[in-house]
């Protein structure tokens, strides 16, 4: 590298500049989170827990004493627990095969199993609705399993691939059967990763909104849909705030367990090379049986959604530019809105995420603040999207921040949700960089910005590109907060799908199927490109 030597600048001045740059890198994302996340959430909770200017926490007790709301809470826990167990049952056998064997088409298979994770929840619900699966606990569990298989494949798979085979081989030499070897040797090493994956799956199922709203209906209400009902339909902010606090407590617990277990997941420096698939049809039956349930779970609803979207002479596609009855915009305009919003939200999330990831991975003063910011950035995943969306309407409706009628309010909300994935995807890569490379560049006189460009940026380009793809897909599918802040001229595809499905008539269903199929193809391509770009485990 051709660095200009700068010997005139004293070391103290350089240290001060580094501190100032690090403070800026932490400060901007923190300000973004403070203004667009903490402020709306605190405002909603404040209105719910304040009576005549005094703090009143009695709504929490009222919620716990109300039999109907207790039922909602227990059903939320029940469906999340069952969905988590079902996901593990389907995903772990597939993870075993994908982690231990190499075969032609493995990368494509991983991409196919990853695709549901980046699919919008509205599309997932629409796919199962096209199969006639709705209005039951089983429909919710199957849809959640479809959605979360990728989480287990990624988190447990990354640990499984890092395990050596020396202990397994020793157990087999001593006469242990394959099953006993797995139970006594492999499973203990995988337990932290399995618990971490289960915690994250439980979190996603616990806060699920689109799947419950479309497939469950009023008789299968969860905390998230009940918060939406209390806020949007009943305007009961006190009950909604109490439910949000209960949900947040459960979410924080799941995040703590996931973080602790992820840190304990065993990885080795020299992982065992994947084996080739056994030769012979009988020998390959077991690996095929491991992958087949997960593959069928993903493929059947996806293919059926595509089939349904082309039914009745592909009416939904041929009328994308036609104004549907009672709709303020055409489906084509909604699609363009989603793509434009996703592009802006991705740019915001990537810039803020790279800034925070860079600050977190640079040692020095302010480490506590940087770590606090890294923990804070995860909270938008756990707080009710309905709460955030309604908070936007309350807080940003007057100067100095008047965004209620602004187009920018939607990409800002989407960037909040995508930001944690960008930080997670890039922090791991930045921490793997040898600090001596930066020190050598600095000694040669390179300013901090050039050190970052020549060393850090070159190392994280692939991870940043993958994170940008995930952020784009997440923005395309964001539904909970968008349902509150969308305006007639900014309708997004998930909101349009929900509105079509809420109206009677076959033409509305056709439009919903066509839009869901288009969104599924776009997000599927994002998942495939991400898989071909490199490993994306850290994004989870």
pLDDT at 446: 67
H or E segment at 218? none
Tens digit of each residue's pLDDT (9 = 90 or more) over 396-439: 877 777 787 788 899 999 999 888 888 877 877 777 776 677 66
Q: Are 382 and 438 in contact (CB under 8 A)?
A: no
Tens digit of each residue's pLDDT (9 = 90 or more) over 60-101: 787 778 888 888 889 999 999 999 999 999 999 998 888 887
How many other CB atoms are found less than 10 A from the CB of residue 174? 8
pLDDT at 4: 45
Measured between alpha carbons, how far is residue 101 from residues 115, 160, 161, 176, 274 in Å?
21, 11, 10, 21, 5
pLDDT at 268: 45
pLDDT at 440: 72
Backbone angles phi, psi at 330, to 5 degrees: -80, 165
Longest dimension (CA), the chain: 76
Tens digit of each residue's pLDDT (9 = 90 or more) over 342-363: 999 999 999 998 888 887 776 6
* Paired tokens of 243: 């439910």
First to last CA, the chain: 34
Q: Are 524 and 476 in contact (CB under 8 A)?
A: no
pLDDT at 5: 43
The rounded distance, in Å, linking the Cα atoms of 98 and 295 is 12
Structure letter (DSSP) for residue 158: H
Q: Any idea what the Cα angle at residue 327 is, between residues 322 and 333, rounded to 5°?
A: 55
Q: Are 497 and 126 in contact (CB under 8 A)?
A: yes
Q: Are 520 and 307 in contact (CB under 8 A)?
A: no
DSSP string, 58-90: HHHHHHHH-HHHHHHHHHHHHHHHHHHHHHHHH
Question: Which stretches of 98-224 are assigned E, i.e. beta strand?
Answer: 101-102
Beta bridge partners of 402: 397
pLDDT at 527: 64
Antiparallel, parallel or unpaired: β 401-402 and 275-276: unpaired
Antiparallel, parallel or unpaired: β 54-55 and 50-51: antiparallel
Question: With left for phi above 0 and alpha for psi between -120 and 50, is residue 314 left, alpha or beta?
Answer: left
Q: Are 519 and 477 in contact (CB under 8 A)?
A: yes
Please, what are the domains in the chain?
A: 9-56+311-540 (1.10.3720.10), 58-275 (1.10.3720.10)
pLDDT at 3: 44
H or E segment at 361? none
The rounded distance, in Å, linking the Cα atoms of 59 and 358 is 42
Q: Are 335 and 521 in contact (CB under 8 A)?
A: no
User: What are the residues whose beta carbons fall under 8 Å from the beta carbon of 189, sequence distance 6 or more?
Assistant: 159, 163, 266
Q: Are 117 and 200 in contact (CB under 8 A)?
A: no
H or E segment at 396? none
pLDDT at 6: 45
The rounded distance, in Å, linking the Cα atoms of 384 and 56 is 21
* Paired tokens of 119: 């699919």
pLDDT at 10: 43
Burial class (CB in 10 A: 0-12, 13-18, 19+), 346: buried
Tens digit of each residue's pLDDT (9 = 90 or more) over 247-299: 877 777 777 776 676 655 545 444 555 666 655 566 567 777 888 898 899 88
pLDDT at 200: 86
* Paired tokens of 24: 């800026």
The rounded distance, in Å, linking the Cα atoms of 480 and 183 is 41
* Paired tokens of 499: 């509105």
Beta bridge partners of 385: none
3-state SS, residue 91? helix
* Paired tokens of 295: 């593959």
Radius of gyration of the chain (CA): 24
Query: What does the chain come to in residues?
Result: 540
If we measure between CA atoms, which residue out of 323, 339, 340, 341 comes closest to residue 331?
Answer: 323
- Consecutive 10-residue averages of pLDDT for the chain (540 residues): 44 51 76 88 78 73 83 91 94 87 78 79 80 82 91 84 69 68 76 87 87 82 85 78 79 74 54 58 71 89 84 72 62 87 93 84 60 72 76 79 82 90 79 70 68 72 81 85 82 86 78 84 74 52
pLDDT at 401: 73
């Amino acid at each position: 590298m051709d660095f200009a030597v700068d010997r005139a600048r004293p070391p103290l001045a350089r240290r001060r500049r580094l501190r100032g740059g690090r403070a800026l890198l932490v400060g901007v994302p923190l300000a973004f989170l403070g203004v667009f996340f903490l402020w709306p959430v605190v405002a909603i909770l404040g209105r719910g827990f304040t009576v005549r200017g005094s703090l009143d926490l009695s709504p929490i007790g009222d919620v716990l004493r109300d039999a109907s709301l207790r039922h909602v809470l227990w059903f939320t826990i029940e469906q999340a627990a069952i969905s988590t167990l079902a996901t593990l049952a389907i995903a772990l056998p597939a993870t075993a095969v994908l982690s231990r064997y190499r075969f032609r088409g493995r990368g494509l298979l991983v991409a196919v199993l990853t695709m549901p994770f980046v699919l919008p929840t509205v599309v997932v619900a629409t796919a199962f609705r096209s199969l006639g699966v709705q209005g039951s606990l089983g429909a919710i569990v199957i849809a959640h399993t479809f959605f979360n298989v990728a989480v287990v494949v990624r988190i447990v798979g990354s640990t499984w691939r890092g395990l050596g085979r020396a202990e397994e081989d020793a157990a087999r030499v001593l006469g242990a059967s394959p099953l006993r070897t797995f139970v006594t040797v492999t499973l203990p090493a995988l337990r932290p990763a399995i618990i971490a994956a289960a915690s994250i799956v439980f979190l996603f199922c616990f806060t699920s909104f689109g799947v419950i709203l479309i497939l469950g209906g009023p008789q299968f209400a969860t905390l998230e849909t009940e918060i939406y009902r209390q806020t949007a339909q009943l305007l009961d902010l006190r009950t909604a705030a109490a439910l949000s606090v209960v949900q947040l407590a459960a979410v924080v617990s799941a995040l703590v367990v996931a973080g602790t277990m992820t840190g304990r997941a065993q990885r080795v420096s020299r992982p065992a090379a994947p084996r080739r698939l056994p030769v012979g049809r009988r020998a390959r039956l077991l690996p095929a049986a491991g992958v087949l349930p997960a593959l069928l779970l993903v493929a059947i609803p996806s293919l059926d959604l595509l089939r349904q979207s082309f039914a009745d002479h592909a009416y939904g596609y041929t009328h994308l530019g036609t104004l549907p009855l009672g709709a303020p915009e055409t489906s084509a305009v909604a699609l363009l809105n989603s793509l434009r919003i996703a592009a802006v939200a991705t740019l915001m999330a990537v810039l803020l995420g790279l800034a925070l990831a860079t600050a977190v991975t640079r040692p020095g003063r302010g480490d506590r603040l940087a770590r606090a910011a890294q923990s804070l950035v995860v909270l938008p995943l756990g707080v009710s999207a309905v709460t955030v969306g309604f908070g936007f309407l309350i807080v940003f409706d007057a100067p100095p921040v008047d965004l209620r009628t602004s187009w920018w309010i939607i990409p800002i909300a989407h960037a909040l949700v995508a930001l944690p994935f960008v930080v997670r995807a890039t922090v791991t890569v930045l921490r793997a960089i040898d600090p001596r490379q930066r020190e050598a560049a600095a000694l040669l006189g390179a300013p901090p910005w050039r050190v970052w460009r020549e060393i850090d940026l070159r190392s994280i380009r692939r991870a940043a590109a993958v994170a940008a793809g995930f952020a784009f897909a997440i923005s395309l599918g964001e539904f909970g907060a968008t349902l509150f802040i969308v305006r007639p001229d900014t309708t997004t595809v998930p909101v349009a799908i929900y509105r079509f499905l809420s109206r009677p008539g076959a033409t509305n269903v056709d439009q919903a199927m066509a839009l869901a199929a288009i969104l599924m193809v776009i997000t599927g391509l994002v998942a495939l490109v991400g898989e071909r770009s490199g490993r994306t485990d850290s994004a989870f």
